[in-house]
Amino acid sequence: MTTATTRPARRRRHGPASDSPSEAAPIRTRALTKRYGERIAVDALDLEVHAGEIFGLLGQNGAGKTTTILMLLGLTEPSGGSARVVGLDPTRHPLEVKRRVGYLPDSVGFYGSMTGRANLRYTARLNGLVEEEAEEHIALALEQVGLTDRADSRTDTYSRGMLQRLGIADALLKDPDVLILDEPTASIDPIGIAEILGLLRRLVRERGMTVLLSSHLLDQVQSICDRVGIFAHGKLIGVGTVPELATTFGDGAAHLEATFLDGTTDPAGALREVPGVEAAERDADSGTWRIVVRPATESVRVREAIIDLGAKRALRMTSLRELEPSLEDIYRTAVAGMTRGFAVEEVTA
């Protein structure tokens, strides 16, 4: 794969009148709820995905990601609340929604006795694409996911990752406005992942597509998603950009990393003297210094102070940078907080 270009943006199609035409958000839910018997899979979810963004859904197994996605597509009836996808209610206008939303299910499957291309041809026909046009779309989609050379083998000879790629091609075939991908990079090799994430970014940039994806791979989500929603027990416990989430779930500290040339005087004492520095410790393996700044808002001033200090005390500092908050840490804190919250509720109940 591929630098295959995406299709140019095209005219909007007109479907049934959307309930609020001025509403720009391609995906929006209000108190969306799904119950399976006693168990609440999705609990009064308020979610909004903006046009032209890549939104990542995070959450542990059973958090309700897949259930939410199925409700957005009208494949599962909500027990309560409402959803609007491309401005339409998926339970009332399922056809129009499904015409404009591409979906990659988790553990996607294909008809094993048919070739990859024949499988896509079936999807194209179900979407009302006519012959030559369908063939062009299929060829482009296969090219985009890097499957052109295996397109004419039966899909029961495909590896799991190849099926996953074919699934993405399948979702792209209808040239959707919104792409919903349930764990899109599962079983795909690292280079393939980079390619697919690149493709998604290009689709968003060139076609103005909106992407909602769920994943367990946090660094991927961090690298590609404009905004992230963290799910736990059917509830959205945090939503925003990674720095925003860091402010919400962080411990209020910023982290700096500094390196000094060997043989210089121990900088620990000097570093700890800087106002705002809470701790400074040397990592024995890498030899770098980790500096904790609290409150996080002091980090710029502290950095300046450390540079001054380096010059004054001849500390021979070679680098100083602020560590970006990792989504993994945020996620851990958020989920742990949620679980703690639950434990407390259970005790008091």
Partner 1 sequence: MTAEAQAQAQPARAVISRPPSGWRVVAQKEIADHVSSARFYVLLLMLGAAAIVPLYFASDAIRSVASQVQDTRNAFLVLFIYAPSDIPIPPVFGFVGIVAPLLGVAFAFDAINSERAEGTLPRLLSQPIYRDDVVNGKFAAGLAVITIVLVAVVGVISGFGIVRLGIVPSLGEVIRLLAWLALSVVWVSLWLAFGLLLSVVIRRAATAALVGFGVWLLVAIFGQLIVGLIAGIVAPVASAGTIGEALSLTALSETILRLLPLTLYQEASRVLLNPSVTTVATPSTIGQLQQWQQQAEGQLLTFDQSALLIWPHVVALIALTATCFAAAYVRFMRQEVRA
Using CB under 8 A as the binding rule, whether residue 66 contacts partner 1 is answered as yes
Choice from 29, 33, 68, 123 touching partner 1 (CB under 8 A): 123
Phi, psi of 212 (to 5 degrees): -120, 120
DSSP conformation letters of 127-148 = TT--HHHHHHHHHHHHHHHT-G
CB-CB contact of 26 with 49 (8 Å): yes
Q: How many CA atoms lie within 13 A of 66 on its CB side?
A: 12
Using CB under 8 A as the binding rule, whether residue 136 contacts partner 1 is answered as yes
Using CB under 8 A as the binding rule, whether residue 127 contacts partner 1 is answered as yes
Using CB under 6 A as the binding rule, whether residue 33 contacts ligand ATP is answered as no
Radius of gyration in angstroms for the set of CA atoms belonging to the chain, rounded to a whole number: 24
Strands 210-214 and 178-182: parallel
CB of 202 to partner 1, least distance (A): 12
Q: Within positions 52 to 71, which residues make up the interface with ligand ATP, using CB under 6 A?
A: 59, 61-67
Q: Within positions 97 to 156, which residues make up the interface with Mg ion, using CB under 5 A?
A: 106
* Per-residue x/- track, 90-109, ligand ATP (CB under 6 A): ----------------x---
Task: Give all strands (DSSP E) within the chain, no chain letters.
Answer: 27-36, 39-49, 54-59, 80-85, 101-104, 178-182, 210-214, 227-232, 235-240, 254-260, 277-282, 289-293, 317-322
Using CB under 8 A as the binding rule, whether residue 183 contacts partner 1 is answered as no
CB-CB contact of 64 with 57 (8 Å): no
Count of chain residues binding ligand ATP (CB under 6 A)? 12
Residue type, 204: V
Q: Quick one: 65 or 100, whose CB is closer to ligand ATP?
A: 65
Would you mind telling me the total number of residues written for the chain in this entry?
Answer: 349
Please identify, among the stretches 10-18, 223-231, 233-241, 332-340, the one whose residues bind partner 1 according to the rule CB under 8 A: 10-18
CB of 94 to partner 1, least distance (A): 7
Using CB under 8 A as the binding rule, whether residue 18 contacts partner 1 is answered as no
Please identify, among the stretches 72-80, 185-193, 256-264, 307-315, the one whose residues bind partner 1 according to the rule CB under 8 A: 72-80
Using CB under 8 A as the binding rule, whether residue 94 contacts partner 1 is answered as yes
CB of 106 to Mg ion, least distance (A): 5
CB of 195 to ligand ATP, least distance (A): 24
Measuring CA to CA, which residue among 134, 92, 99 is closest to residue 13?
99
CB of 65 to partner 1, least distance (A): 13
CB-CB contact of 71 with 90 (8 Å): yes
Q: How many CA atoms lie within 13 A of 263 on its CB side?
A: 0
**C-alpha distances in Å from residue 292, one per residue of 91, 237, 255, 316, 327:** 50, 26, 5, 20, 18
Q: Which residues bind ligand ATP (CB under 6 A)?
A: 36, 39, 41, 59, 61-67, 106
Q: Which residues bind partner 1 (CB under 8 A)?
A: 1-5, 7-8, 10-11, 13, 66, 70, 73, 75-76, 94-96, 98-99, 101, 103, 105, 107-113, 122-123, 125-130, 133-134, 136-137, 140, 143, 167, 170, 174-175
